[in-house]
Structure 1
């Protein structure tokens, strides 16, 4: 029996972590699936020895980005109307009017929002996007590629990227079945479902219910629960180095045990360096009392600033930075992409640190995979870089409502940090059990079988596909 040919669409570099730098390709072969990466990223999949077809003429219709932004605002408006919950406003970003072009785009966007802010209007906006994308040279290029390659299935690795619309439309117009993967645990409440596909692959039953809530037009049999490959490396003991080897490679003090400070980007946490300062100060005090602790700083991969440097210099004996192994093409967020080496580095960082602290990050799930705790900062700095920013807004986001009580250790003030560190070290909290419960809610268990579930679903769907004429 001939293997099914599966196109994996990579509209953004971040999806490489899930579908190129994992066992995805190797497992696919065991299920009689031949993977070809339809790649728009700067990274060469072919150099890894995998099949690759480059996306060409990648340019959406000039109106698509405007309509995409209008669609999001309309969806958020409807979510507020349908639920009475104004929390959805927190997912909006202020529009910039610092150039004439941006001003004009914003005026057009607001006009579409005003004219189409209803359920029927939302569908009209989506239809206009599809109509405009079908007129582009990019769409025609996608048609030609699919006619030449004749895949049995097109799998989109990220549902929120506008350049994925034309390839998916081309596949649907050629009667090729399509699916998209919901990329992150917080994406659905944020109105980031940009593409329409035949199937939607989600992390959990919880996320399936979210799809029903926000997109009731999507039928139950179109939603496939798979989990996500992003945590799978944590269950691979073969990639974990010895503590001595890890400490030596990153110049860690062999006499100390390290706690990971996981940084956020400057928009999410503008005062992150001050939280690092507070945490280092607490560690310094504990060390005078006989503790032998250090901080391993893993900054956000998209944070290019030097904002932590003064704090690192101030606490040279405590803080060691272990930078993520991401590649940066043009010093912008959307041209950053992970590497296979960073998957290994992250797993080893978790294995060789006691626990993690951050601001509202999904790193809680990475550490839960190792049965280790997570602390969330939960107080505002007295002097803030942005006076309008409020840390407490973060924890009011919709996706945090799934969190069971006690799943994280809240650091409620700078003075609170010392006692919370001691409580973790002395195992006086059941936070790990609750964190694992949350992990199971958010991502289908066993988490290490997510790739298997994704590929089994793809094999089943593609087996029903007729070849292109």
Structure 2
């Protein structure tokens, strides 16, 4: 049976960037008779980017009851208990979940750790999910989801993210109405480094053959359902004409000296990349002291923060050029305010221009390394932190499954102190293609398909999602 009516669940600003600012919604509007976006964002943010035939419905916010929280916690912790010995990233995320206070919820978390240390098989995990599903079945928001889906009647409900726990009721209500569900695996680190996904969806679209193998490993039941390798739409804007920027416009935008090379430091989130300020300062000081040749130095902060943590560096090193991503906070007082930051299309043009015209990227083990590699730019990953030297231990990320491959392939260089960072920057500026072969090997492994046509491949997979 063919799919005529497609529902798309977009829960946050990154999903908005990936599926609205790419070609996906435009192509989907042409491919399906009806397109409905079920949104965790205000409906008005979509108006400039979707066709008149696409309906946007704001989802009521689901708040977990106590039992729902407990069973969800048991499910997630059991998944991490099962895989912690083999996957360092999962072990680290498990540790993050340990209780540190003495509230009632903390005691329940301690119980979850003890119980799941004994019961963490797939059978146990599926049992916890079954109890979780029962616990939210009568929740007023779950019932509202049921009525919403019953009225709008999508043939397939496509989730653009597999992790947020509040997606579980939406998936369950869809199944109750015999609506097929399909999920996109959101990021390259989500399977080997994170906890259990929100729900067992009916089918999946993934970046690469590698991600498909990971999905089958962590979720054995997916071996018996449809998993389509499509690439990822988050990089598709890099091959769309609408986001192209001329070099002269880039130079004017950032007041670039066209006679100098340009370094871009791209920051991570403050919660996982706490040493960004140190690395920026090391580079800026080395430029001032002429240990690095005269260059333009641009720092792009994380879209998830306001950049306040860099105030002292801005004052001390006025030559640094700052790029604060144009992501607008669309809702105040939301349970997850970071999810309500939405990018402007102009920010994608800015980002693409940085990728095209900067000569070198420096970041701490960020996905942004892939972005720059797509434009054949060298990438340096400073990692100074250890468990014992007083810095935030960002060295642990080198052991995460997805990043172990980056290091093993040799696609980046990993300086562990100031001298090494300066040396690696100088080497990469002089030898920009020295790791090109390794970078291309990494991109082939992690992004399984060409950037062009990504949206069409996802749509083709969704058209057969009911079969």
**TM value normalised by structure 2:** 0.90
Match of 1:467 in 2: none
> Cα RMSD between the aligned structures?
2.6
Deviation at 1:88, TM superposition (A): 3.0
Deviations 1:328-369 (A, max 9, x none): 244843333333332222111211211210110111110111
**Aligned pair partner of 1:184 in 163, 187, 190:** 187
CA contact 2:206–2:212 (8 Å) conserved in 1: yes
**Aligned pair partner of 1:227 in 231, 235, 247:** 231
CA contact 1:58–1:138 (8 Å) conserved in 2: yes
CA contact 1:407–1:435 (8 Å) conserved in 2: yes
Deviation at 1:259, TM superposition (A): 0.8
In 2, the alpha carbon distance for the partners of 1:75 and 1:334 equals 25
**Aligned pair partner of 1:278 in 279, 282, 294:** 282
Match of 2:252 in 1: 248
For residue 44 of structure 1, give the secondary structure of its aligned residue in structure 2.
helix
**Aligned pair partner of 1:159 in 158, 162, 165:** 162
Given the alignment of the two structures, is residue 422 of structure 1 paired with residue 422 of structure 2, yes or no? Answer: no
For residue 395 of structure 1, give the secondary structure of its aligned residue in structure 2.
helix
Deviation at 1:460, TM superposition (A): 2.0
CA contact 2:385–2:391 (8 Å) conserved in 1: no
Given the alignment of the two structures, is residue 53 of structure 1 paired with residue 57 of structure 2, yes or no? Answer: yes
CA contact 1:406–1:430 (8 Å) conserved in 2: no
Given the alignment of the two structures, is residue 129 of structure 1 paired with residue 135 of structure 2, yes or no? Answer: no
For residue 409 of structure 2, give the secondary structure of its aligned residue in structure 1.
coil
Deviation at 1:236, TM superposition (A): 2.4
In 2, the alpha carbon distance for the partners of 1:412 and 1:32 equals 51
For residue 227 of structure 1, give the secondary structure of its aligned residue in structure 2.
coil
CA contact 2:99–2:107 (8 Å) conserved in 1: no
Match of 2:339 in 1: 334
List aligned pairs for 1:29-108, cutoff 5 A: 29-42=29-42, 44-48=44-48, 49=50, 50-56=54-60, 58-80=62-84, 83=86, 88-92=90-94, 93-95=96-98, 97-98=100-101, 100-107=103-110
CA contact 1:160–1:193 (8 Å) conserved in 2: yes
Given the alignment of the two structures, is residue 346 of structure 1 paired with residue 346 of structure 2, yes or no? Answer: no
**Aligned pair partner of 1:447 in 441, 451, 459:** 451
- Over 3 Å counting, the alpha-carbon distance change for 1:196 and 1:256 in structure 2 is same
Deviation at 1:397, TM superposition (A): 0.5
List aligned pairs for 1:301-450, cutoff 5 A: 301-317=303-319, 319-328=320-329, 329-330=331-332, 332-380=337-385, 387=390, 389-403=392-406, 404-427=408-431, 429-450=433-454
Deviations 1:288-316 (A, max 9, x none): x8x33021111111233522121222221
**TM value normalised by structure 1:** 0.89
Match of 1:174 in 2: 177
Given the alignment of the two structures, is residue 295 of structure 1 paired with residue 297 of structure 2, yes or no? Answer: yes
CA contact 2:136–2:169 (8 Å) conserved in 1: yes
For residue 180 of structure 1, give the secondary structure of its aligned residue in structure 2.
strand
Deviation at 1:108, TM superposition (A): 5.2
In 2, the alpha carbon distance for the partners of 1:248 and 1:434 equals 33
**Structure 1 unaligned residues grouped into runs of 5+:** 465-469
**Structure 2 unaligned residues grouped into runs of 5+:** none
Deviation at 1:257, TM superposition (A): 2.9
In 1, the alpha carbon distance for the partners of 2:8 and 2:415 equals 42
In 2, the alpha carbon distance for the partners of 1:61 and 1:222 equals 33
CA contact 2:79–2:196 (8 Å) conserved in 1: no
Deviation at 1:176, TM superposition (A): 1.0
CA contact 2:88–2:399 (8 Å) conserved in 1: no
